Amino acid sequence: MSKFVLSVLVENKFGVLARVAGLFSARGFNIDSLAVGETENPDISRMTIVVDADERILEQIKKQLNKLIDVIKVQDLTGSDFVDRELILIKVKAENTKVREKIIKVVDSTGAEIVDIGRKVLIIEESGDEHRIKALMELLRPYGIVEIARTGKIALQSDV
């Protein structure tokens, strides 16, 4: 099994997301990541779907997606040049000045940003590829991660 990144253009209509998600669940396929947003055309949305599958299952998924009436185009980005990003918010324990200063140094050294300062926690924001996100999480883990909110992957093909 490998991770595949699909870019799916769909009509920006009520219920399309539910139909796509239903297609996956009805066939027992798991979605690792799903992000949906309007494109440069307000009538069209782009779904970026990351799925863990083998080649046979991937082909089945693409065929089933193409059968949905609201699907305009299905593109497998895996193996092509593409740019992907995720966003993460990490709430970290910072109960004293010494710990807070260490966390600030970590954040500054990675290019992440502190977006909220509480009495006992800091909330840090980072965007980047999966490796950048994971690296920041590992650097902050020793301080005590309280909570994480993470978007799904978004991606665009680099050269068409």
Per-residue pLDDT tens digits for 81-132? 999 999 999 999 999 999 999 999 999 999 999 999 999 999 999 999 999 9
Residue with tokens 């993470």: 150
| Identity at 108, one-letter amino acid code | D
Q: Reduce the DSSP state of residue 28 to 3 states and report it.
A: coil
Confidence check: pLDDT of 27 > 90: no
Strands of 12-138, DSSP E? 31-38, 44-53, 71-76, 82-93, 113-117, 121-128
Q: What residue spans in the chain does CATH classification 3.30.70.1150 cover?
A: 83-157
Confidence check: pLDDT of 160 > 70: no
With cut-offs at 50, 70 and 90, classify the pLDDT of residue 26. Answer: confident
When the pLDDT of each residue in the chain is averaged and rounded to a whole number, the result is: 94
2-79: CATH number: 3.30.70.260
Residue with tokens 């991937």: 58
Q: What residue spans in the chain does CATH classification 3.30.70.260 cover?
A: 2-79
Number of residues written out for the chain: 160
Q: Report, as an integer, the average pLDDT of 30-37.
A: 93
pTM: 0.86
Give the right CATH number for 83-157 from 3.10.20.600, 3.40.190.10, 3.40.50.740, 3.30.70.1150: 3.30.70.1150
